[in-house]
Structure 1
Amino acid sequence: MSHRFGIALVGIGPGAVPHLQSLFDLRDTIELRHAVTRRPALANLGPFQGMLTPSADLQAALADPRVAAVIVATPPASHLELATQVFAAGKHLLLEKPLDISLTRAQAIVDLARTSDLRLGVVLQHRFRPGALALQDALASGRLGTVQAASVRVPWWRPQSYYDQAGRGTLARDGGGVLLTQAIHSLDLFCALVGVRSVLAAQVITTGLHRMETEDYASALLTLANGAPGQLLATTAMRPGRPECIEIIGSLGSAVLEGGSLQIDFVDGQTQQHKAQGGTGSGANIMDFPNDDHRALLQDFVDAVTQNRAPRVTGLDALHTQQLIEQVLERAAANQPGP
Structure 2
Amino acid sequence: MVRFGLIGCGSIAAKHVDSIASCPNAELVALADPVPERMNVLVEKYARARSVPVSSVSAYADPSLLTQDARIDAVVIAAPSFMHAKWTKESLLAGKHVILEKPIALSLKDADSIAELASISRRRVQVCHQLRYRPNMRLAKNWIDQGALGTIRAGSVSILLNRSPDYYASSAWRGTWEKDGGMLLNQGVHLIDLFLWLINDRPESVYGVIGHGNSPKETEESAAATVRFAGGAVGSIEATTLCKPNNLEQTLTLVGDRGTIRIGGAGLTEIKRWHSDDFPAPPFPLAAVNEHLEMYEHFIAELQGTAGDSRLCVTASEARRSLEVAFAVYESSHLGIPVRLPLASFDTKSMSVKKS
TM-score (structure 1 length as normaliser) = 0.86
**3-state DSSP of counterpart to 1:244:** strand
Partner amino acid, structure 2, of 1:25: S
Cα shift at 1:226: 2.0
Change over 3 Å in CA distance of 1:225–1:40 after alignment to 2:
farther
Structure-1 residue corresponding to 2:97: 92
Indicate whether 1:7 and 2:4 are aligned: yes
Structure-2 residue corresponding to 1:151: 156
**Aligned with residue 19 of structure 1, among 16, 20, 31:** 16
How many residue pairs were aligned?
318
Partner amino acid, structure 1, of 2:269: G
Structure-2 residue corresponding to 1:271: 281
Question: What are the Cα deviations for residues 252-304 of structure 1, in whole angstroms up to 9, with x where unaligned?
Answer: 221112213334023479534544799xxxxxxxxxxxx81111111111222
Residue segments in structure 1 that go unaligned for 5+ positions in a row? 279-290
Between the aligned partners of 1:253 and 1:207, the Cα distance in structure 2 is 38
Between the aligned partners of 1:308 and 1:299, the Cα distance in structure 2 is 10
Structure-2 residue corresponding to 1:284: none
Between the aligned partners of 1:152 and 1:140, the Cα distance in structure 2 is 19
Indicate whether 1:182 and 2:187 are aligned: yes
Cα shift at 1:8: 0.8
Residue segments in structure 2 that go unaligned for 5+ positions in a row? 338-356
Change over 3 Å in CA distance of 1:68–1:255 after alignment to 2:
same
**3-state DSSP of counterpart to 1:298:** helix
Cα shift at 1:61: 3.1
Change over 3 Å in CA distance of 1:172–1:200 after alignment to 2:
closer
8 Å CA contact retained: 1:196, 1:222: no
1:246-261 to 2 correspondences below 5 Å: 246-258=252-264, 259-261=268-270
Structure-2 residue corresponding to 1:56: 61
Structure-1 residue corresponding to 2:125: 120
Change over 3 Å in CA distance of 1:156–1:67 after alignment to 2:
same
Cα shift at 1:35: 1.6
Partner amino acid, structure 1, of 2:290: D
**3-state DSSP of counterpart to 1:38:** coil
Between the aligned partners of 2:93 and 2:208, the Cα distance in structure 1 is 40
Structure-1 residue corresponding to 2:38: 42
Between the aligned partners of 1:117 and 1:260, the Cα distance in structure 2 is 36
**3-state DSSP of counterpart to 2:213:** coil
1:153-302 to 2 correspondences below 5 Å: 153-165=158-170, 166-174=172-180, 176-194=181-199, 195-208=201-214, 210-239=215-244, 240-258=246-264, 259-262=268-271, 263-267=273-277, 270-272=280-282, 274-275=284-285, 292-302=290-300
Between the aligned partners of 2:69 and 2:60, the Cα distance in structure 1 is 14
Between the aligned partners of 1:146 and 1:74, the Cα distance in structure 2 is 40
% identity of equivalent residues: 27
Partner amino acid, structure 1, of 2:262: V
Cα shift at 1:12: 0.9
What is the root-mean-square deviation in Å for CA atoms of aligned residues?
A: 2.3
Cα shift at 1:233: 0.4
Question: What are the Cα deviations for residues 31-62 of structure 1, in whole angstroms up to 9, with x where unaligned?
Answer: 11112211123332163156435332534433
Which stretch of structure 1 is more off in the superposition, 307-316 or 179-188?
307-316
8 Å CA contact retained: 1:265, 1:272: no
8 Å CA contact retained: 2:125, 2:316: yes
